[in-house]
């Protein structure tokens, strides 16, 4: 899509989608305006990244996380009311078979530790607000050892 320059009033009923990257280097509460539609590089091994509360105005907003610094205790979480649906495939670094983990009905946190719950450099997670209180997640996270689910309750 080409760049557009506006002169005069502009109205959008569904908002404008950002693009590019945003570097997350500390615990961050995300916003639609600053973070949706961007690749969010996570450079805080034990960062806590909180998705915005889902409202009728932000349904369809997508947040894509790319692990650039290996996780030790990294969390992608909701406000506690919103929950995750969907799943994450966890691959392992020793050519063993990976596993797909499906979120439970009460799960509102994805925790990556760089080994059994994934979070090695190159891991990617996408969360999209699809309905009131529902973020659908998908992605491939990289781990090692005996894999366990990255999904949890706060």
Rounding to the nearest 10 degrees, give the CA dihedral for residues 130, 85, 111, 141: -90
For the chain, what is the mean pLDDT?
A: 91
Q: Are strands 109-112 and 74-77 parallel, antiparallel or unpaired?
A: antiparallel
**Closest to 150 measured CA to CA, from 109, 92, 121:** 109
Mean pLDDT of all residues in 75-95 = 92
CA dist 77 and 110 (Å) reads 6
Q: What is the pTM of this model?
A: 0.87
Q: Is residue 45 part of a domain?
A: yes
Structure tokens at 154: 């706060």
Answer whether residue 87 is part of any domain. Answer: yes
Is 12 among the domain residues? no
pLDDT tens-digit series, residues 113-145: 999 999 999 999 999 999 999 999 999 999 998
Contact 88, 67 (CB under 8 A): no
| Mean pLDDT for the stretch of residues 59-66 | 96
* Domain contains 85: yes
Residue 99 lies in a domain: yes
Residue 9 lies in a domain: no
Domain range enclosing 102: 21-152
- How many domains, in total, are found in the chain? 1
């Amino acid at each position: 899509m080409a760049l557009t320059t506006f002169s005069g009033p502009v109205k959008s009923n569904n908002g404008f989608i950002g693009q590019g990257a945003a570097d997350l280097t500390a615990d961050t509460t995300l916003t639609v305006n600053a973070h949706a539609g961007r690749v969010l590089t996570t450079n805080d091994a034990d960062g806590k990244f909180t998705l915005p509360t889902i409202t009728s105005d932000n349904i369809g907003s997508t947040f894509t996380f790319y692990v650039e610094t290996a996780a030790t205790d990294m969390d992608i979480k909701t406000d506690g009311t919103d929950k995750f649906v969907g799943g994450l495939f966890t691959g392992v670094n020793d050519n063993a078979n990976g596993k797909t983990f499906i979120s439970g009905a009460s799960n509102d946190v994805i925790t990556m530790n760089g080994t059994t719950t994934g979070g090695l450099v190159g891991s990617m997670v996408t969360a999209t607000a699809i309905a009131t209180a529902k973020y659908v997640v998908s992605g491939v996270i990289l781990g090692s050892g005996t894999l366990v689910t990255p999904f949890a309750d706060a």
